[in-house]
Structure 1
Amino acid sequence: MEPGLRQGKLIKWKDERGFGFIQPTDESLEVFLHISELKDSTRRPQVGDIICYYTVTENGKTRACNAFILGARIKKNSSSTSNNISKYPFPILELLLLSSLPLIGSIHFTWITANPIPLILYPLMSFLTFALYANDKSRAKRGDWRISEQMLHLCELAGGWLGGFVAQRKLRHKNIKRSYQVVFWIIVTLHIAFWVDWLFLSGTIMKIFLRSNFKN
């Protein structure tokens, strides 16, 4: 075993929140493990898994880092190493593709209605949402009280989904949990659909929706 590398059994795991606790083989105190510190694993952790890990102490709290599941580790070679390096670049192309329609739509909306709210709301809420993602990941690593997923989704719905998208790619946070991703992409689809309706259908779908919900 490598110097400093420890081993223990995963005795608690909250998959929906992405963290759990390891019982070291020497029967010492349980060690906190966050999903972001689980490297090169072929699957999500489960209670009973043997975890190999290093430890780091911050603010008097010890947590696992650079961990992997024994028997479920991706075999590394030169090609996979280079792939891992390029796996998480800043998503410039994806961001441009996703933001182009909302940007054009916001400019058109401002031009037609003299209302700049979309142009202000998207960057403002995206910055706020990115900051909340970063803060939530930091809290998770420290084992502190987390920011609720409902709050993150609410910020995304209010226009911050672009910031959420960047945070998922750059911080590797909330990018694995399937249930979270389903809600996130529903929010993205709603925003894209709104601008498609505004730009190409003159708001027809939105008008029909409003009439059906607010008619006497």
Structure 2
Amino acid sequence: MRRQGVIQRWDDGKGFGFIRPHDGGPDLFVHASACQLRQTQRPAPGVEVSFETERGRDGRAQAAGVLPLHGWPTMDALPAGAVEQRRRNADEARAARPQRASASRSERPQRGGPSLRVAGLSIAALLLVLIVATATHRLPGWIWAWHAATSLLCFALYAADKSAAQAGRWRTPESTLLTFGLIGGWPGAIAAHHLLRHKSVKPSFRAAFHLTVVVQLVALSWLAWKGLRI
């Protein structure tokens, strides 16, 4: 369920701040990666937002999917000297944390949805099941077209949802994205995770997505074992 609040504090150099919910409770940590921003947009204290709540790696509640109620401030709308100060803060933060700026490629997929190895193994398992099942006539040949069509549709849904997030429009429900993955479109979702960098960070969504992949592969294998005659 989405909540509303106001950004109380924001450190642009470190890329995080805190949101005070309108419905009460403690201030919530928010990272810049949880905000749907364009290149020239920046969070700032006093901006009213809507957000979801999730558990961070430390087990504490934090904000996710943060959207402004009336638009994000742009750099040219900030007070005089604020842009230069933010740039200095960012430079100091990068100098203090060089290891983050030089993170290896092998670490990045862990933050961006399934790793390439896991994605490759999942797709290889799908292809193996389809090849064996259709070669032995235990699954109909149109099952290939089904997976291709649902994958393309799933990729398009992710792309549309990312565009809506950036523009502050109505988002596609996560349940819809997961459902299309569950019925066979998850290869397209994996492509969207890596190519579009969308829906690839939120832990709860990633866990649910991984579960849909496993369920779909198990269900497809069971249908192949039983023999689907359609």
TM-score when normalising by structure 2: 0.56
Q: Tell which deviates more after alignment, 93-102 or 157-166.
A: 93-102
Q: 2:97 is matched with which residue?
A: 76
1:154 corresponds, among 146, 158, 179, to 179
CA spacing shift, 1:113–1:196, aligned 2, 3 Å? closer
2:42/2:72 contact within 8 Å kept: no
In the TM superposition, residue 91 of structure 1 has moved relative to its aligned partner by 5.9
Determine which of 94, 99, 102 is the counterpart of 2:123.
99
Aligned partner of 2:71 in structure 1 is 31
CA distance in 2, matches of 1:105, 1:180: 26
CA shift for structure 1 position 97? 1.0
> Which digits, 9 at most, give the CA deviation of each residue in 1:138-189, with x for residues without a partner?
1111111212222212211111111112212332211222332232121111
CA-atom RMSD in angstroms: 4.0
Q: How does 1:36-47 map to 2 (within 5 A)?
A: none
Determine the structure 1 residue equivalent to 2:205: 180
Match of 1:136 among 153, 161, 165: 161
**Conserved in 1, the CA contact under 8 Å of 2:183 and 2:216?**
no
Q: Tell which has more relative contact order, 1 or 2 (C-alpha 8 A, sep 6+).
A: 2
Q: 1:144 is paired with a residue of what secondary structure?
A: coil
Give how far 1:5 is off.
8.8
- 2:68, 2:168 within 8 Å by CA — same for their partners in 1? no
In the alignment, the residues of structure 1 paired with residue 204 and residue 156 of structure 2 have an alpha-carbon distance, to the nearest angstrom, of: 22
The answer to whether the Cα contact below 8 Å between 1:133 and 1:152 also exists between their aligned partners in 2 is: yes
**Cα deviations by residue, 1:52-76 (Å, 9 ceiling, x for unpaired):** x7479xxxxxxxxxx9xx99x7753
User: What's the offset of the Cα at 1:117?
Assistant: 2.6
Q: Quick one: structure 1 residues 152 and 6, their matched pair in 2 at CA, closer, same or farther if it must change by over 3 Å?
A: closer
Question: How much has 1:84 moved relative to structure 2?
Answer: 6.4
CA contact (8 A) 1:19 1:32 kept: no
1:8 to 25, 37, 44: 44
- The unaligned stretches of length 5 or more in structure 1 are 23-29, 34-52, 57-66, 207-216
Identity %: 23
In the alignment, what sits opposite 2:7?
A: none
Q: Aligned pair in 2 of structure 1 residues 150, 7: CA closer, same or farther (>3 Å)?
A: closer
What is aligned with 1:124? 149
2: distance between equivalents of 1:153 and 1:7?
A: 29
Unpaired runs of 5+ residues, structure 2, are 1-11, 14-39, 54-63, 78-85
Aligned partner of residue 72 in structure 2, secondary structure: strand
Equivalent residues of 1:105, 1:198 under 8 A apart: no
1:41 matched residue in structure 2: none
Counterpart of 1:110 (choices 129, 134, 143) is 134
Conserved in 2, the CA contact under 8 Å of 1:101 and 1:195?
no
Shift of residue 196, structure 1, vs aligned partner:
5.1
Corresponding letter in the other structure for 1:32: W
